[in-house]
Amino acid sequence: MNFLDFGETKVASEAVQTPFSKLVIEQILHCEEKLINNDILLSAVFIDLRYKMLLNNTQIQRAKAHLKHLWVKIVSINQLYRQIN
């Protein structure tokens, strides 16, 4: 399942309007909420130019901040490794 499959499944489920499809939609909305608030996913979407346009300015800023934080950790670990060896 890729990033856009959620949208396609949601649209298809909304068209059916059965009790099961309503449960599927509810779960998709729940997953979307969790995913869109995940800094790791936002960073991955930000890096992928195909999907970057889906992010708003706040999400872009969160993704950048997460990537900068991650880079600082990588540099710190690299420096520590150099000191040990």
Query: Does residue 40 surpass a pLDDT of 70?
Result: yes
Q: How many residues belong to the chain?
A: 85
CA–CA distances in Å: residue 59 to residues 25, 77, 80: 23, 27, 32
Q: CA nearest 70: which of 78, 82, 81, 59?
A: 78
Please state, for a pLDDT cut of 70, what percent of the chain lies above it: 92
- 13-29: pLDDT as tens digits: 777 788 888 888 888 88
Query: Does residue 12 surpass a pLDDT of 80?
Result: no
H or E element in which residue 9 lies: helix 5-16
H or E element in which residue 20 lies: helix 19-36
pLDDT of residue 31: 84
pTM of the model: 0.68
- How far apart (Å, rounded) are the C-alpha atoms in residues 73 and 62? 17
